[in-house]
Structure 1
Amino acid sequence: MFIVLSTLMVFTILVKLGFWQLERAEQKQQWQAALSQRQNASVLTYEQLLAHLGNDNLTGYKLSTHVTPILQQVFLLDNQTVNGRVGYLAYQAFEVAPDKPWLLVELGFEAGSIDRSMLPNVAALTSPLALSGRVYQKQMNPMSSELMAETGSPIRIQNLNIEQLALLIDKPLLPVVLQPNNIPGDSRIHPWQPIPLSAQKHQGYAVQWFSMAGVFAVIMLFLFFRKLKQQDNHKN
C-alpha cells in the first residue's frame, strides 16, 4: 500500500508541475500582450508615471522627463552577462523635482575585467538632461535580494534593491528604472529582457513534466504487472 501511495504521489506531483508551467505560460502571454500595449501607448510624464504606482508592475511604460544629477555617484550591478561578455549594469540616481522621488537611470552595460578588484571607469552624468525611454521594475529574488553595496567609487552592488539603495543615498527613489535612449554620446548596450522566460519556454517545460509523468507511469505499470506475473508463477 505504501508503494502504491508513493507512486501516486510522485505521479501527481509531476502532473501538477506540468499544469503549473502551463499556467505560467498563460501569465507570460498576458504579460507580453500588456507590454506590447504599453510600447504602443503615448509617452508618460513623470507625474503620470507616479499616478500608476501601486496599480501593477510598471515595466514597459514609456517616459519622458527632465533630470538633474545632484548626486554624481555611479552604481555597478554585478554579475551581468550581455552577448557572452560578463560585466556590470551602471546606474545613477537623479532628482526630477524637489518634492518628488528621485529616479534611477540605467547608464548601460560595461564589460568587467578578469581582475575583480578593477572596476570599469564609468563617468557620471554631470549636466541636467531631458531623458526619454522605457521603464522597468525588477522582481526581487527571495533567495538573494540584499543590496550588498561595497565602498569606493563607483560602488559595486550585488542586487538592484532600490529600497536599500534609497537608504544608502538618503533620498527617496521611485521603485522603477528608466532605460533611456537619448543619453548624449551614449554607445553602451542597454539590454532589454522584461520577461525572463518566454511563454514558449514554460510550454516546453510543461511538455517535459508531462513526459516525465508518462514515462514514470509506464515504468511503474510495467513493474506492477511483472510482479503480478511473478506471483502467478510462484503459485503455479
Structure 2
Amino acid sequence: MLLTIATVSLFLLLVKLGFWQLSRAELKENIQSQLTARQALAPLSFDQLLALPPTETLTGYRLDVMVSPIGEKVFLLDNQTFNGRVGYLALQVLQVMPDRPWLLVELGFVPAGNDRRQLPTFPQITQTQTLDGRLYQKQANPMSSALMAESGWPKRIQNLNIPQIEEVLNHPVALAVFQPTSIPEIALPHPWKPIPMSAQKHLGYALQWFSLAFAFALLMIFFIRSRLKKK
C-alpha cells in the first residue's frame, strides 16, 4: 500500500513540475510581448516615469533624460558575470531635476581584479548630458535582498535594493535603473537580460519532466506486470 502511494505521488509530482514549467513559459512569453510593445512606444520623460504607479513594472520602458553628476556616488553591484568574466555592474547616482528623486544610471560592466580588497577603476559621468535608453528592474533575490553596502565610494553592494539605497543616500531614488543606449567617452558593456530564462528553455524543461513521468509510468507498469506474472 505504501509503495503504491509513493509511486502515484512521485508520478503526480513529475507531471505537476511539467505543468509548472509550461506556466512559466507562458508567463515569459507574455513578458516578452510586453517588452516588445514598450520598446515601440515613444520614450518617457522623467516626469512621466515618476507619475507611473509604484505597482507598475517599469522594465522595458524607454527614457530620454538630461542628467547631472552628484559628486562621485557609484554603487558596484557584486557577483556579476559577462562573457565568462566576473565583476561588477557600476551604477552611478545622477540628478535629473533639483528636489526630485535621483536616478541610478548603469555605467556598465566592470571586470573584477585578482585582489577582492581592491575595487576596480572605471570612467564616470562628469558633466551634464542628455541620454536615451531603457529602464529595468532586477528581480528580487529570494534568498536575500539586503543591500549589504560597504563603506566608502564607490560602494560595493550585494543586491539592488532601491529602498535601502535611498536610506544610504538619504534621498529618494527612481524605482528603476536607467541603461543608456550609449554614454559619451564611456565604452563599458551593458548586459541586458530582462528575462533570465527564455520561454523556450521552460518548454524544454517541461518536456523533460513529462518524459520522466512517462518513463516512470512505463517502468511501474512493467514492474507490476512482472509481479502479477510471478503470482
TM-score, scaled relative to structure 1:
0.93
How far, CA to CA, are the matches of 2:53 and 2:182 in structure 1? 25
TM-aligned CA deviation for residue 103 of structure 1: 0.9
- Secondary structure of the residue aligned to 2:218 is helix
How far, CA to CA, are the matches of 1:36 and 1:59 in structure 2? 11
How far, CA to CA, are the matches of 2:209 and 2:189 in structure 1? 36
Deviations 1:170-224 (A, max 9, x none): 1111110000123211211001110000000000000011011111111122222
Deviations 1:96-131 (A, max 9, x none): 223322111101011111221121112432322212
Which deviates further from its counterpart, 115-124 or 5-14? 115-124
How far, CA to CA, are the matches of 2:221 and 2:170 in structure 1? 64
How far, CA to CA, are the matches of 1:119 and 1:219 in structure 2? 56
Larger radius of gyration: 1
Conserved? CA contact 2:43–2:62, under 8 Å: yes
TM-aligned CA deviation for residue 152 of structure 1: 2.7
Aligned to 1:58: 58
Dislocated runs of 4+, deviation >3 Å: none
How far, CA to CA, are the matches of 1:53 and 1:88 in structure 2? 30
How far, CA to CA, are the matches of 2:8 and 2:214 in structure 1? 12
Aligned to 1:104: 104
Matches within 5 A, 1:2-41: 2-41=2-41
Q: 1:205 corresponds to which letter in structure 2?
A: Y
Aligned to 1:49: 49
Alignment gaps of 5+ in structure 2: none
Which deviates further from its counterpart, 57-66 or 218-227? 218-227
Conserved? CA contact 2:76–2:157, under 8 Å: yes
Number of residue pairs matched by the alignment: 231
- Secondary structure of the residue aligned to 1:78 is strand
Aligned to 1:202: 202
Deviations 1:135-191 (A, max 9, x none): 001110120211111123321111111111111111111110000123211211001
Conserved? CA contact 1:74–1:123, under 8 Å: no
Q: 1:97 corresponds to which letter in structure 2?
A: M
How far, CA to CA, are the matches of 2:64 and 2:53 in structure 1? 16
Which deviates further from its counterpart, 106-115 or 49-58? 49-58
Which deviates further from its counterpart, 212-221 or 93-102? 93-102
- Secondary structure of the residue aligned to 1:81 is strand
- Secondary structure of the residue aligned to 1:36 is helix
Aligned to 2:81: 81
Aligned to 1:118: 118
TM-aligned CA deviation for residue 55 of structure 1: 4.5
TM-aligned CA deviation for residue 15 of structure 1: 0.4
Alignment gaps of 5+ in structure 1: none
Q: 1:148 corresponds to which letter in structure 2?
A: M
Conserved? CA contact 2:15–2:209, under 8 Å: yes
Matches within 5 A, 1:130-169: 130-169=130-169
How far, CA to CA, are the matches of 1:143 and 1:134 in structure 2? 27
Conserved? CA contact 2:72–2:153, under 8 Å: no
Aligned to 1:182: 182
Q: 2:211 corresponds to which letter in structure 1?
A: S
RMSD of the TM alignment (CA)?
A: 1.3
Deviations 1:3-33 (A, max 9, x none): 1111111111110110111111111111111
